[in-house]
Amino acid sequence: MKLLVTGGAGFIGSAVVRLAVSRGAQVVNLDALTYAACPDNVAPVADSPLYSFAHVDIRDPEALARVFEEVEPDAVLHLAAESHVDRSIDGPGDFITTNIVGTFNLLNAARHYWVSRGRPDTFRFLHVSTDEVFGSLGKEGKFTETTPYDPRSPYSASKASSDHLARAWHETYGLPVLLTNCSNNYGPYHFPEKLIPVVILNAIAGHDIPVYGDGSNVRDWLYVEDHARALLLVLSNGQIGRSYNIGGVNERSNLELVQEICAILDAKRPLGSGSYADQIRFVTDRPGHDARYAIDPARIREELGWSPSVTVSEGLERTVQWYLDNEAWWRPLQQRHGVGRRLGTNV
């Protein structure tokens, strides 16, 4: 099995690359290496004969056509994207060109390649998306695969557009497309501008720990390796043309999550006096901040037998330990453009 994984130098893509190679798949990691990429994320498999890298931007259709000709993949897992909501508020342009136009380019390149090879029914295109396309929930209810789309940020609107394109390429051209919509991921190699690494790294640096608004926004957290496992399962066993919601069934308000991380740090690296939670500061909310996301993963559980293997408490414990042990990974990334600054208030 030869897989073309886009965005494999990012957080989730690299987990997919590591898992697929460890299971014996041949993997070509296609990535433009934006500010969010870190080639070290695939260091554990980089020397494997099963792994190779293509430095390509999905905004470049000619380069994509060449990659398909050279690689001749059996399947595509499409994860390359601009992924940070706060950056999408300050600069939506890259989200439109990469997430929408880039996905269009990739679908087109995949379609031409698939047609040129006689439309093999074994070919798959898995489009990886987010639960944020469904909008914001009240206190009750969960997103299912039939929840109407209602994106509210430039990021989620760009991902929603890309989902529609992927579905259209299946319905119109017959391309064997699958979709997934997943809840918030966390775990090792999470870029240090996202909530959980920000909390851990600000806490141990003795800085304020920012919590947007009153911290009541609820997210459904999934350990990244459980997501990678789900994606490979959907790719091999999912029904063509269908979408699968993936979630951890691990809801936490942002404030509860931050307090839990502080308690883990209190145990692992005790302060002389007080708690890391004393560093929590409430800051101006994100504009249009969705109140609650929660996934109903019944379809993937019942059709494909997937369920999360890591509870949020175990996963947070592992994640905190990973950041404490891997300063050489995160320290240089803190120097990248915009990291460590408050973004997304410039409206």
* 251 a catalytic residue: no
- 139 DSSP 8-state letter: S
Instruction: Return all residues near 302 (Cβ < 8 A) that are at least 6 apart.
Output: none
The C-alpha atoms of residue 228 and residue 22 are separated, in whole angstroms, by: 12
Count of alpha carbons within 13 angstroms of residue 251, beta-carbon side:
15
Kindly tell me which residue out of 95, 113, 191, 330 binds ligand NAD, with binding defined by CB under 6 A: 191
Contact between 79 and ligand NAD by CB under 6 A: the answer reads yes
Instruction: Return all residues near 128 (Cβ < 8 A) that are at least 6 apart.
Output: 12, 77, 78, 79, 180, 182, 231
The C-alpha atoms of residue 21 and residue 52 are separated, in whole angstroms, by: 10
Contact between 32 and ligand NAD by CB under 6 A: the answer reads yes
* Pairing assessment for the beta strands 251-253 and 218-220 based on DSSP bridges: antiparallel
Contact between 9 and ligand NAD by CB under 6 A: the answer reads yes
SS3 of 247, please?
A: coil
Contact between 98 and ligand NAD by CB under 6 A: the answer reads yes
Backbone angles phi, psi at 212, to 5 degrees: -70, 135
Pick the catalytic residue from 31, 82, 132, 225.
Answer: 132
We find the least distance from the C-beta atom of residue 247 to ligand NAD, in angstroms, to be: 10
* 132 a catalytic residue: yes
* 131 a catalytic residue: yes
We find the least distance from the C-beta atom of residue 118 to ligand NAD, in angstroms, to be: 28
Please count the residues of this chain forming the interface with ligand NAD, following the rule CB under 6 A: 31
Measured from the CB atom, the residue of 34 and 275 that comes closer to ligand NAD is 34
Kindly tell me which residue out of 130, 147, 161, 217 binds ligand NAD, with binding defined by CB under 6 A: 130
- Residues with a catalytic annotation lie at 131-132, 155
The residues that touch ligand NAD, with contacts defined as CB under 6 A, are 6-7, 9-13, 31-34, 36-37, 57-59, 79-83, 98, 102, 128-130, 159, 182, 184-185, 191
